[in-house]
Structure 1
Amino acid sequence: MPSGTVHVAVTLVAVAVLVLGGPAPAAGEKAAPPPRVEPSPWEWPTPPPHQLLRPFEAPPTPYSAGHRGIDVPAVTGGAVVAAADGVVSFSGIVVDRPVLSVRHDGGLVSSIEPVAATVAAGDVVLAGDRVGVVGSGGHCDERCVHFGVRLHGEYVNPLALLTSVQRAVLLPLGR
């Protein structure tokens, strides 16, 4: 078979497995239950209610305009907590606002601003640990915090990691 034909055949088999699933159970056997997915250990960096003032807006290119995080309502002086277990990688001022960044397992880094941190670079934090209070400065000044997450340096939508966001469940198509 020519190389292109092999590539197309492999792609079609992969799509068929994804759409139709694996082999059907033998007569009289029950289908195996779907694998259990443990909930994410991530949580919102601010107390409820959890609303979005501005959602994540992926830029079309790495240097284009976009909104590389979510804006969550908050009040100056309100509590800020670590969204997940990690190590503080930065705590300080960036341009005109206090920023806190935490390095997490799996190549993830979360950042929140403006936050007057009570932790310093190198400190270990656990999900839910108080790490500071809502500060002032930046585009969220006195009305919200900006929460962003990078995966191996690329910004991702933080909502995909938060435990209180309902997960989509994809079901196989009927035969």
Structure 2
Amino acid sequence: MRSASPLLRLGASLLAALLVALPPAGGPVDPLADRGWTWPTAPVRMLRPFVAPAHAYGPGHRGLDLGGDGDVRAPADGRVAFAGRVAERSVLTIDHGDGLVSSFEPVDTDLAVGEVVGRTQIVGRVSDGGHAGAGSLHFGVRLDGEYINPLRLLGGVPRAVLLPCCEPLADRGG
């Protein structure tokens, strides 16, 4: 079986990005969506969506790659849990309590471990390095140690709606 073409993969990524802008019918379905988190970049430009791995050690993209003005803002109140270098990248991690931890890379910051930060406070600037393109920010969120889609905290991920995609088998002559 052939793998999906780059154009098909791009189309799927764009569709996923567009779907996040649609509010779910009847309000948020995910209890995490009501926590009042804000985007860490402005203006918001999603460059690469979250892609959940099939299993804990499988390939995926455990966060969002975002473009913006270069400032990095705290998405919610919290306390700096880590600020330093990991694998030649500058990383900032904020513990928000209740098992929620956000991480940003590459980010230069003057904050120290233990400092309290407020929602929307500028906590650093996008720097060089990381897997994302120049000038872009990787934003990840863990809940109780497991990576989750950050969109769950930024207004929720819309419910999936199954639409007909194919003609019935009887109409295919088979």
User: TM-score under structure 1 normalisation?
Assistant: 0.68
Match of 2:37 among 35, 42, 50: 42
Match of 2:62 among 59, 64, 68: 68
Match of 2:137 among 124, 142, 145: 145
State the secondary structure of the residue aligned to 2:151.
helix
| Amino acid in the other structure paired with 1:40 | R
2:122 & 2:158 partners in 1: Cα distance?
26
- The answer on 1:102 being equivalent to 2:94 is yes
How far is 1:47 from its partner? Answer: 1.1
Q: Runs of at least 4 residues of structure 1 off by over 3 A?
A: 165-168
State the secondary structure of the residue aligned to 1:160.
helix
| Amino acid in the other structure paired with 2:57 | Y
User: TM-score under structure 2 normalisation?
Assistant: 0.69
How far is 1:39 from its partner? Answer: 3.9
State the secondary structure of the residue aligned to 2:47.
coil
Compared with structure 1, are the counterparts of its residues 159 and 84 closer, same or farther at alpha carbon in structure 2 (3 Å cutoff)? Answer: same
State the secondary structure of the residue aligned to 2:128.
coil
| Amino acid in the other structure paired with 1:100 | L
2:157 & 2:130 partners in 1: Cα distance?
30
Instruction: Tell which structure's C-alpha radius of gyration is larger.
Output: 1
State the secondary structure of the residue aligned to 1:92.
strand
- The answer on 1:132 being equivalent to 2:124 is yes
| Amino acid in the other structure paired with 1:132 | G
After superposition, the CA RMSD in angstroms is: 2.7
1:133 & 1:93 partners in 2: Cα distance?
14
- CA shift digits 1:40-73 (9 cap, x unpaired): 321111111x121110001011011110000001
| Amino acid in the other structure paired with 1:133 | R
2:95 & 2:39 partners in 1: Cα distance?
16
2:104 & 2:52 partners in 1: Cα distance?
17
- Tell me, which stretches of 5 or more residues in structure 1 are unaligned? 1-33, 169-175
State the secondary structure of the residue aligned to 2:48.
coil
**Contact 2:127/2:135 (<8 A) preserved:** no
- Tell me, which stretches of 5 or more residues in structure 2 are unaligned? 1-26, 160-174
Report % sequence identity.
Answer: 49
- Name 2:8's counterpart in structure 1: none
State the secondary structure of the residue aligned to 1:103.
strand
- Name 1:157's counterpart in structure 2: 149
Compared with structure 1, are the counterparts of its residues 40 and 167 closer, same or farther at alpha carbon in structure 2 (3 Å cutoff)? Answer: farther
